[in-house]
Chains A and B, each alone.
Chain A
Amino acid sequence: MSLKTTIATGLLLAAIGASTAAAQSLVYCSEGSPEGFDPALYTAGTTFDASSHPIYDHLAEFKVGTTEVVPGLAESWDISEDGKTVTFKLRKGVKFHANDQFTPTRDFNADDVIFSFDRQGNPENPYNQVSGGTWEYYAGMSMPELVESIEKVDDYTVVFHLTRPEAPFIANMAMDFASIVSKEYADAMMQAGTPEMLNQAPIGTGPFVFQVYQKDAVIRYLRNDEYWGDKAKVESLIFAITPDASVRYQKVQAGECHVMAYPNPADVQAMKDDPSIVVMEQEGLNVGYLAYNTKVAPYDNPKVRKALNMAIDKQAIIDVVFQGSGQIAKNPIPPTMWSYNEAIQDDAYDPEAARKMLEDEGVSDLTMKIWAMPVQRPYNPNARRMAELMQEDFAKVGVKVEIVSYEWGEYLDRSKALDRDGAVLLGWTGDNGDPDNFLAVLLGCDGVGASNRAQWCYQPFDDLIQKAKVLPTQQERAALYEEAQNLFKEQAPWATIAHSVVFMTMRPEVEGYVVHPLGGHIFNQVGLAQ
């Protein structure tokens, strides 16, 4: 072979190699930078997309595209009759990733499970204070009060002793904060004096191995060829951080990204019309609401609240504020969630009837405040505009509205006050697909003065949700939650406004992407057509 032919062949092979490598890299245009790579430390979905989903596994997993919980690092689990002891049988032969500083010497076992939770709940654990140690989700899911102790029976059996029966516990184990980290790696990093590496150079058991993060620019992952489950379809996964939605759209059009999240609602129609782009949509697991302060007159009267609800033209809000990327909410939980009560009739938009109801209750010349959030959320893309529409609606029934707003931290804080003046626009995105995560957190008596912004403690409702929390089967629980939704509608502590619709935009060559109802962007089984 002449030198020329050799070089030409070499170049050709290199070109084929390069194009194959390029074809096997999936590029996702993400909307922001992760705060870090230890999911237990953070609460933002953007961080979970970059850490919990590609890098880590959990004892249980949500089946992608559903809120169904399936075995993960635990092959099976057993719940005792009193519901207070949960035994997990762990999967054998699961390998942790390796990086420049660390090569695992053993497989995943019970020590890793115990460490993953102990560091969050035990102030004596050396990792409890590392990296700021905020553990918001662990606390937010009431784990400190719920978990009495965690016991290692053998290398592959772990028992959680709970202080009370808790039906959503298994679903909690599939949440991002419950990602299983390597104790061996943590010990090695502590010994090396760099414990923060657990957060900065993550080691997990997940389908992708973390390669590098160039701050605010790019995150790179490689396929984990030793993965215990179905291996990833692409060789590498790249997150191209692109904060501007219009620019993400341009990048998908130009072929610089395969998948993008959170398109501008205004662009969705053009995307649907573009043959080179595929748009998927699904209802988000969230709800946007207006919470009255039920402790303050006249909003302590359910009929007044009901009348105000009837004065709100929700369709106009969906059209103007959501620009079509939302649907009217009639229940406090989203329609994709089990136990959603289809039979409930929403309060019809009827200003005349609303005005009369208010008169019948002796309410006249009412002036109220509506609090508009200063930030954009999927469940409320423009709270100020929403408040303005409500202001017009309420004016038609003789209620004057003053719109107020505060800086976000102040807003969250002040809106908790028991004597708060006015109704608050807020919302919620589900964490674990369990109705308890909406109904108990947002409307239970325990949440009054905190996450229950309506300050609504209605004993019959609270009894139902407390009872549902400890029942063993989903069917039994669903019946109680459906009943609870009836009581909610009758008592109207909120005006339920909307559930957002989540859009995902991708190029036609992307195969196997499923929109996840819990909101994460998961690429474990996503491939690219050749």
Chain B
Amino acid sequence: MLNYVLSRILTFVPTFIGVTLISFGFIRVLPGDPIIVMAGERGLSQERYDQLSRQFGFDRPIYSQFWDYFVGVLHGDLGISFVTKKPVWDEFFALFPATLELSVCAMVFAVVLGLPAGVIAAVNRGKFFDRALMSSALVGYSMPIFWWALLLIIVFSGNLGWTPVSGRIDLIYYFKDSTGFMLIDSLASGQKGAFTSAVRHLILPSIVLGTIPLAVIARQTRSAMLEVLGEDYIRTARAKGLAPVRINGIHALRNALIPVVTVIGLSVGTLLAGAILTETIFSWPGIGKWMVDSIFRRDYPVVQGGLLLIAVMVMIVNLTVDMLYGVINPKIRKR
């Protein structure tokens, strides 16, 4: 197992260097000079332009800029945002807990509903429930996030008044965020009603963000289960007279999990992509919106630092998924 873990971690190194290079190059390939974007319609003199160019280091050759950036990254320095003038690292970690909290809740929503739905659909293959579920999954997968979000807000927040429209907590609650995770901070604050408010604020964004992964997980679980249910050992189990719950829930599901776990791992990337829209609509202060704003403003340090950190997060998730394969299927770790 140790060898397996080490070999997975070693693949990190070239990927990390590649990601650093891509994140550095990506924003520079886009047309648009950050200094000119910053000055806007008002423009600026050539002298001022040159001064800022020197200040930001744009007057130096590109390889030398990259080298400085790379050395900075190795020392844990991702640079300072051109716009807010704060370290990228600080900004990322101020916002990341919000994205993580939302993504985890969305994933829990997707897994808790998606797994059983897929299993039930597979067991009832071709019946009404199966068809209804797979059609809903297709609709869920195809729905534009912004439309789905606005629809839910209008119905549940506007017309019914069940959930708040947007934000992370009611504005009457004010406490210092020690962890950045609103569920934890609101509990720790001891303020009455704060935790409930935080939960209520999480409901709609989690549903919106979790909808696509939910659809994907349900469909993937169903097809993986169908494959496994046709195996000989399942027939043997049935012949032995095992209870259907035991057959489907333990023998079949465990073997069907590998592709499902893969899909869940891959969905992390989807979640981060979906978070951009979800965060904008629900005024959720996370990294999705932060990245988009920075791309529009050509805020090089934020874009390259943010991309790098997100890529590292996705790499960690993939590594975890690889480890989970080993746990689920002992044959893999022995390879």
Contacts and interface: CB of A to CB of B under 8 A. Distances in A.
A250 interface: yes
Contacts of B296: 408
B184 interface: no
B164 A254 contact: yes
Given A136-B39, A412-B36, A240 B290 contact: no
A336 interface: no
A27 to B, nearest CB: 6
Contacts of B86: 196, 200
Interface stretch (B11-19, B25-33, B206-214): B25-33
B283 interface: yes
A217 B289 contact: no
Interface in A459-481: none
A409 B174 contact: no
Given A140-B42, A250-B158, A410 B32 contact: yes
Contacts of A25: 171-172
A132 B283 CA distance: 28
B259 to A, nearest CB: 36
Contacts of B167: 217-218, 240, 242, 256
Interface SS of chain A = mixed
Nearest to A139: B48
A451 interface: yes
A131 interface: yes
A367 B153 CA distance: 48
B268 interface: no
A238 interface: yes
Interface stretch (B77-85, B217-225, B234-242): B77-85
A35 B168 CA distance: 21
A410 B165 contact: no
Contacts of A412: 36-37, 39-41, 43
A95 interface: no
Chain B residues touching A, range: 35 or more
B31 A409 contact: yes
Interface string A406-429: 111110110010000000001111
Interface string A20-45: 01100101000001011000010100
Contacts of A133: 55
A525 interface: no
A246 interface: yes
A98 interface: no
B32 A408 contact: yes
Interface string B160-178: 0100111110011010010
Interface string B43-65: 11100100010010000000000
Nearest to A373: B41
A137 B165 CA distance: 37
Contacts of A301: none
A429 B33 CA distance: 22
A426 B40 CA distance: 11
B38 interface: yes
Please indicate which of the listed interface residues A136, A244, A251, A409 has the most CB atoms of chain B within 10 Å of its own CB.
A409
A36 B84 contact: yes
B321 interface: no
Given A250-B158, A250-B165, A409-B32, 16 more contacts: A18-B172, A35-B83, A43-B40, A133-B55, A136-B39, A139-B45, A140-B42, A220-B174, A242-B167, A243-B283, A244-B281, A246-B150, A250-B157, A253-B158, A409-B36, A412-B37
Interface of B: 30-34, 36-45, 48, 52, 55, 80, 82-86, 91, 94-95, 98, 150, 153-154, 157-158, 161, 164-168, 171-172, 174, 177, 280-283, 285-286, 289-290, 293, 296, 298
